[in-house]
Structure 1
Amino acid sequence: MMNANPLSAADTAQLEQLLLQIKHNTRNFLGYPVSKDFDYTPLMPFLAYPLNNLGDPFVASTYSVGSREMEKYVVEFFARLFRAPEDDWWGYVTNGGSEGNLYGLYLARELYPKGMVYYSEATHYSVQKNLHLLDMPSIVIRTQPNGEIDYDDLQNTIRMNRHMPVIILANIGTTMTEARDDVGRIKSILKELAIRHHYIHADGALSGSYSAFLDPRPAFDFQDGADSIAISGHKFIGSPIPCGVVVAKRSNRDRIARSVAYIGSMDTTITGSRNGHSPLFLWYAIRRLGLAGLKERAVHSLEMAAYTTSRLKEHDIPAWRNRDAITVVFPDPAPAIRRKWQLASEGGWSHIICMPNVHRQQIDQFISEMTTAAVEV
């Protein structure tokens, strides 16, 4: 342990104040897709070590202080959940959904350097930044009222550019309304237009984590036509550190892989040094919950979303949600309510996301405060 002076009284007080603030703010937020019902206390001893999964998780490195075995387990778990090709899958634990989307687009660009990217106007804000970083041309497609991509506009736009390879970023749960783009329908459009060269990346940041447990199962995974899928780990599953998982076809990854002597591994990921603690958290959660536990979380969230929608309508608030979505959309409440409950708002609409930690008492309290504030105004 390095020699160091203890924190001053002022610094200690600042830390204590920050902790109180975080505890208070965590109790109240309903507007963002972050699960907070986790307990990783048994993993605390690992924080004493510099876990770094640098390089490819499936290739050994000369740096051996990491959680590679856990990371490989996590990737395989989601590869199977997303029905990836039995002998042609690969992936790694990312810093979050945005990095997973960047990786999917990166693979697509290397596969089709002259491809055109299509994505809907409801796509996450980070995608435009990723396209700028990768210098990829793109066209924005209209959305339907529920936030799902307009398939007619997509088909007509691709038809006008059918001489170019097609790269599509499909939303498996948009930011505001959690609308899912139908990957199977998109694949049918490409077939109808005889587009041979194409790549579909599915952004499943929130919804992709539990869509496999829905009945009927939405068309979003590899068997439906996706070439890569990205999810967030800190959303539906829950983690103290933002993280995610990207799963892609190994044959496409091979196009960008190169050996790096310094680390004794392959350079196949976006970042060099990679957080080795996040795979540990995800491994622990998956091992504890299993498929049955994850499905139970999904069922609870869906029931809470139905309850929230019903309760809001009882108060004549025109709330709605997409089919099998845990996001409930309604007109903006009073500013003080939006601030206290940390609601995301856009175009006069706000939403509540019924994560696994949300319960009826919390929803009842929110609706009581919201309706009271409306009467006072």
Structure 2
Amino acid sequence: MMLSRRRFLGYGGAGMLAIAAGCRPANLNLLPSEDDVAALKRLPLTDRMQLAKLKNNLLGYPINMNTPPEAFFAWRKQLNEAGIGMFAFNNVGNPFKESPIPYNTHDFEREVIQRFGKRYAFPSDDTWGFLSHSGTDSNMHGMYMGRTILKGRTGRLPKAYFTKEAHYSVQILRDLLGLETVFVDTLPDGGMDPNDLAQKLAANRSQPALVIATIGTTFKGAVDSIDRIQDALQGHPSYVHLDAALFGGYLPFTPHADEVAYRLPGKPAPRYDSIAVSCHKFLGFPAPAGLFITTQSHFDEFNALFTRIHNPEYIHHVPGTITCSRDSVKPAEFYFFSTPEAMAQMTEDAQAMLQNTDYFLQQMQSQFPKLDAVRANALSNTIYFKNPGDRIVKKYSLATMHLEIERQPQDYAHAVVMPHVNRQVIDAFMIDLKSASVNL
């Protein structure tokens, strides 16, 4: 993958102009003082290096700890040589509109959204989005867009419908947006109960519904059924935002891709309105970032309402994003993950990851039946089980929660089988479990 000559000259020329204009710090070439050298030696870099060697022990949280391939770092170097990251680029505003600041990477950002939009079965001529700061940032934009559109259509604020299994950020964002919450009951596996949703919609007919459906709940790895949610919503003004932070990263690369498809083949009705996916989870981007994808038509409806509270004159257009200045380096770097080569690797990783999840569950159930290991569904890479003790929790950074299973309160932990969790890591975990307590 190479930068085109035109794009390179555009970025590289900008970088040279910046230096020629006197932007280079005057003391750039000064050698560090003795005090500076002493301060550097005091930094805990050795400790961090040791910690980096143990990165594959991270089992409790959905972060892909694999190091990206050398080609990614070569791409980073090309971007650096072109000036991206060398001075202040800014992706302010709508990446599908011309920016008044020429030092941006909107072109990379648009291509990323189009390529991933295709993975989620958005129409090629009706796709809009941007690269956000994180999955939570993407959820914020989805919920704000839903709130704005529904209020514009009905004149009334919607109520927010989600389950207590949803990510904690949803509750924070609901509070931030000033929305009343309607908690929907869950099925035994932790997914949203569509029958309870229907009953609660009936009890709140006067207000529209902003439904936040979760594809891969935070602790149990349950999947809310989008199609059954849509059945329950028939006739009720609604907007469905999909929090697919983890599962939305890998499901498009598996036979289960339909679970996160905006539209199914042969069925014209859309299944949801917007989607949030984290880039640093399965996709493996080495810093927090998120995808937010919706339709251009939804964005246009939202932006017409957004215009009433935003003066577009300063940046020559209504930005369509809550955040103003946005990182330009991340979209350019993340472009690497939208290439055919990267997506081919993701397909291999997704297959291996689900196979390793099968193996993890088999080993837990056969070797440690008293821990009652559970996998919510075959789509999930998450396994939860009774808390095995502080030593294991700390060594493997396991997430823990107090749950009530079949009316029995119990402390649980979970493991998330990410691409770095291979069978050697799983086997080592089993050995540690066996040595941790004779009561397991």
Give the TM bin, normalised by the shorter chain. over 0.9
Q: How is 1:1-377 mapped onto 2 (pairs within 5 angstroms)?
A: 1-2=24-25, 3=27, 6=32, 7-14=36-43, 16-17=45-46, 19-20=48-49, 22-37=51-66, 38-39=68-69, 40-42=72-74, 43-44=76-77, 45=80, 46-113=84-151, 114-191=157-234, 194-195=235-236, 197-223=237-263, 225-254=271-300, 255-256=302-303, 257-258=306-307, 260-287=312-339, 289-317=341-369, 318-321=372-375, 322-347=377-402, 348-375=411-438
2:42 and 2:324 map into 1 onto residues whose CA distance is 36
What do residues 223-275 of structure 1 show as CA deviations (whole Å, max 9, x unaligned)? Answer: 25100001000001112220010001222222335463333443111211111
Q: What is the CA–CA distance in structure 2 between the aligned matches of 1:286 and 1:152, rounded to whole Å? A: 38
Matched-pair contact (CA < 8 Å) for 2:374–2:385:
yes
1:68-93 Cα offsets, whole Å, 9 max, x none, are 11111111112111112343220000
% of aligned pairs identical?
Answer: 30
Q: Any unmatched runs of 5+ in structure 2?
A: 1-23, 152-156, 264-269, 403-410
SS of 1:222's partner is coil
Question: Aligned to 2:391, what secondary structure does the other structure show?
Answer: helix
Q: Answer yes or no: is the 8 Å Cα contact 1:228–1:246 preserved in 2.
A: yes
Size of the aligned set, in residue pairs, is 374
Pairwise CA distance, 1:218: 4.5
1:311 Cα deviation (Å)?
A: 1.1
Deviation at 1:177, TM superposition (A): 1.5
Q: Aligned equivalents of 2:256 and 2:298: distance in 1?
A: 30
Aligned-residue CA RMSD (Å): 2.0
Secondary structure of residue in 1 paired with 2:43: helix
Task: Report the Cα offset of residue 63 of structure 1.
Answer: 1.6
Higher RCO, Cα 8 Å, sep 6+: 1
Quick one: distance in 2 between partners of 1:237 and 1:289? 13
Q: Which amino acid aligns with 1:342?
A: S
C-alpha contact (below 8 Å) 2:336/2:342 kept by paired residues: no
1:156 Cα offset (Å): 0.9
Displacement of 1:216: 4.5
Q: Which letter does structure 1 place at the counterpart of 2:244?
A: G
* Larger Rg over CA atoms: 2
CA distance, structure 2, for counterparts of residue 22 and residue 253 of structure 1? 44
Taking structure 2 as the reference length, the TM-score comes to: 0.80
Which aligned segments of 4 or more residues in structure 1 are displaced greater than 4 angstroms? none
Contact 2:221 2:380 in 1 (8 A): yes
What is the TM-score when the length of structure 1 is the normalising length?
A: 0.93
Q: Structure 1 regions of 5+ residues with no counterpart?
A: none
